[in-house]
Chain A
Amino acid sequence: MFDLKKYRKKSPWILHYNAGSCNGCDIEILASLSPKYDLERFGVINTGNPKQSDIFLVTGPVTYRSRERLIELYTQMPEPKVVVAVGSCTCTGGVFRDMYNVEDGIDRYIPVDVYIAGCAVSPELIIDGVVKALDILEKKSKEMEKPLKLFKEAISENGVVNRRNVALKVGEVHEEN
């Protein structure tokens, strides 16, 4: 049978979001798209548009200001999707851990599929992580994936899911950490 799932692996489009990182890892991501490492040979395009991307590359430890956007971008990505946490501070908080204005890592807010450690991560590790993410992407179903916080259940009518306003603002919800 003609299996469309096979092709998920061959054309991963990337959305890159900086949730308050020091920019070290962002530069490394750009380096891995440059001629020397050439991530495009796997069919990767850096789209910058959540509605057309498959892989969500996040850098940074989620500052209080950036978490609404993080959830917003995450809910705007169509399934199947994978989240890759790039850099130590994205995985655990790293050098920013326990600071007053950051959350420790993005997995407090959205489910993460691949963690890439390193401060800053090297382009080789990023490529390894993305390739690992592709294996996970191939196995995923098209079930709706939900953020862990700042989220309202989507309403579904006649089999059509209405995703409008599923990402909440910080003030709209009672949070306990």
Chain B
Amino acid sequence: MIEILLIVFAPFIGGIIYGFERVVRARMQNRQGPPLLQPFYDMFKLIDKQAFIVNPYHTILGIMHFITLWVVVAFIIMGQNLLYVIFLHLLSSIFLILAGFSVKSIYSHIGSNRELLAALAYEPILIMMAVGFFMVNGSFDIAVIREHGASIASLFLLFLAYLMVIPIKLKKSPFDATEAHQEIVGGVEIEFSGIFFEFLYMAKWLEYIFAYLLLMLFAGDNILLGIGLFIGVFLLVNLVDNATARIKMKHLIKIVLSLGLTLGICNLIGLAYV
């Protein structure tokens, strides 16, 4: 029962996390910040606004992106196979990338390109994470992973690698070149407007849920540790977001691939032989 409730309200929980994050970021900069429910005000406003349709495929692909992402979150909450989850998540990114390529806007194309490159950089880390969980717990099932004890000690290097994936997924500096407001005006989301942009906006909230639920897998059955990890990483990501500037796409790929792959492979080799 609680699982169904969680799944139904997942976007709204994500919205609250997003609103809270905006407040935290404002407080870090010594500002007051918007109200906690600001994302929902934005949502109602966007529903009320006029919407432009550039072409039908573009809008449909945007909505598909949101729906697949919701399914991904549902799968994690229900404790399905971790590999399915990761590949389905890739599919949802692909929908967004196709949507970006389906319009004529150059910024949209650049955004899609960057999204694709970013997927290239973080996908191997996610897959290695799944392999690591398999080696520790003997199963890809998230339900099984959640029953075992905390695996953060044996997967520590992969945990560090995953810390680099979170800013990419949540579009936080230094790794926010995929979205890059004011530089490429949001990239893939540029041509969406009104209620159709709302789907993309809510997909962003779901991304939060996705990233932090995967993070909590490192804590296994230890719920307190899971919550501790969530709070710690949440603050860390926002602190880094406030303190650093955006880096170029080229450097993003170099850093994430070289560092992340090395960390991941070391961890997997260690698990296999030690």
Which A residues are closer than 8 A to B by beta carbons?
4-8, 10-11, 13, 35, 38, 40-43, 46-49, 51-52, 54, 78-80, 142, 163
How many A-B Cβ pairs are below 8 Å? 81
Contact B192 A11 (CB under 8 A): no
Contact B32 A4 (CB under 8 A): no
- Number of B residues contacting the other chain (C-beta, 8 Å)? 32
Could you give, for residues 176-203 of chain B, a 1 whenever the CB lies within 8 Å of some chain A CB and a 0 otherwise? 0000011001100111111001000000
For the complex, give the distance between the alpha carbons of A32 and B212 in Å.
Answer: 34
State the Cβ distance, A170 to closest chain B Cβ, in Å.
23
Contact A43 B41 (CB under 8 A): yes
For the complex, give the distance between the alpha carbons of A65 and B44 in Å.
Answer: 37
Contact A38 B32 (CB under 8 A): yes
Minimum CB distance partner of B182 in chain A: A48
Contact A78 B194 (CB under 8 A): yes
Residue B52 contacts which of A7, A10, A38, A78 (CB distance < 8 angstroms)?
A: A78
Q: Which residues of B contact A11 (CB under 8 A)?
A: 38, 41-42, 44-45
Instruction: Rank and list the top 9 A-B pairs by shortest CB-CB distance, nearest first.
Output: A7-B44, A51-B193, A78-B50, A10-B41, A4-B48, A11-B42, A11-B41, A11-B45, A38-B31
With contacts A10-B41, A11-B45, A78-B194 known, is A40 near B50, CB below 8 A?
A: no
State the Cβ distance, B105 to closest chain A Cβ, in Å.
10
Q: Which residues of A contact B46 (CB under 8 A)?
A: 52
Residue B185 contacts which of A7, A35, A48 (CB distance < 8 angstroms)?
A: A48
For the complex, give the distance between the alpha carbons of A13 and B49 in Å.
Answer: 12
Q: Which residues of A contact B194 (CB under 8 A)?
A: 78
For the complex, give the distance between the alpha carbons of A90 and B38 in Å.
Answer: 31
Contact A78 B51 (CB under 8 A): yes
17 new A-B pairs (CB below 8 Å) besides A7-B41, A78-B52?
A8-B48, A10-B38, A11-B41, A11-B42, A41-B34, A42-B34, A43-B41, A46-B182, A47-B185, A47-B186, A48-B181, A48-B185, A49-B185, A51-B52, A51-B197, A78-B49, A78-B51
